[in-house]
Amino acid sequence: MAMLISGKELAEKEKEKVAREVETLRGEGIRVKLVVIIVGDDPASKTYVAGKAKDCAACGIESEVVRFPQQTTEEELLEKVRACNEDPTVNGLLVQLPLPKHICEKNVINAIAPEKDVDGFTPVNVGRMVIGESCFLPCTPAGCIEMLQSTGLPIDGKKAVVIGRSNIVGKPMALLLCAQNATVTLCHSHTRDLADICRQADILVAAVGRESFVTADMVKEGAVVIDVGINRGADGKLHGDVDFSAVSEKAAFITPVPGGVGLMTRAMLMRNTLEAAKRQSGRFE
């Protein structure tokens, strides 16, 4: 039976660590602030934004949620982004995705100042990540690496398989695993013999967006399985991409949904925001 990698526990620890550092900075007269911009009424986005504000409060980070109506123009949004870039009291800035269809997400992301891009989505941060330079790592894959490391098992030399190649999860996940010296296979909807490939994985990361996509026959005995998926099931509950109960019988470690990667993603945002404030105040790590 697999051991559970608890996103809840790890995220709490991370947030406590961030809170202590935020407190120290405050003692030195430095405040830490995150601005989150949301456009429209997407219910999932609203939930995510509320979660971010709650985490900020728990960490002593000041947060401001800027709400724009659905019909906001791209230029209006860009103006706000530029204003936040210029505002020295704002350390971290993120625009909640997805944006309404009439707004080009690429243009908006590209407008965020790289030094405030705590989501790690701008081309500058992505480029730095690719070449292994200091940058803001995207929160979800960074959280997955933390979860893998929490098992105490080495990543170095292991065979890792990532299912999904999105810019925010799959691709950076593969890069971060490679940076940890895993041998990485990145799979997608055109991959042939997916189950065979998955069965070779010591580390299997699922970021597909399909409930119970990873079945027990796709998992090697003793593998570490990281489930990034968040899917609203027919039962109205949240489910991952992994058939949790069956895969738990084979894996050595597994992340639950909910209570797994999602919580660590949020904790990594707090870490990045603290890091942004430290860098902007001249405190480099």
Size of site (CB under 6 A) for ligand NDP: 24
Pick the stretch among 13-21, 60-68, 79-87, 182-190 that binds ligand NDP (CB under 6 A).
Answer: 182-190
Report in angstroms how near the CB of residue 35 gets to ligand NDP at its nearest.
20
Task: Out of 126, 163, 176, 182, name the contact with ligand NDP by CB under 6 A.
Answer: 163
- What's the CA gap between 121 and 132, in Å, rounded? 15
Instruction: Please state, in angstroms and rounded to a whole number, the distance separating the CA atoms of residues 30 and 33.
Output: 10
Q: Which helix (H) or strand (E) holds 64?
A: strand 62-68
280 is catalytic: no
Lookup: tokens for 213: 């996509």
Of positions 60, 92, 120, 170, contacts ligand NDP by CB under 6 A? 170
With residues binned 3-state (H G I as helix, E B as strand, rest as coil), the percentages for the chain, rounded to 5, are 45, 15, 40
Name the active-site residue from 33, 96, 180, 220: 96
Contact region for ligand NDP (CB under 6 A) — 22-30, 176-184, 258-266, 272-280? Answer: 258-266
By beta-carbon proximity to ligand NDP, the closer residue of 128 and 165 is 165
Residue 202 annotated in active site:
no
Our CB check for ligand NDP shows the closer of 88 and 192 to be: 192
Give yes or no: 193 in active site: no
Q: How far is the CB of 227 from ligand NDP (least distance, A)?
A: 8
By the 8 A CB rule, do 18 and 274 touch? Answer: yes
**Sheet architecture: strand order including 203-206:** 3-4, 253-254, 224-227, 203-206, 159-163, 183-187
CA angle 126, 137, 232 (to 5 degrees): 100
Catalytic residues: 52, 96, 119
Residues that bind ligand NDP (CB under 6 A): 140, 163-166, 168-170, 187-191, 194, 207-209, 228-231, 261-262, 265
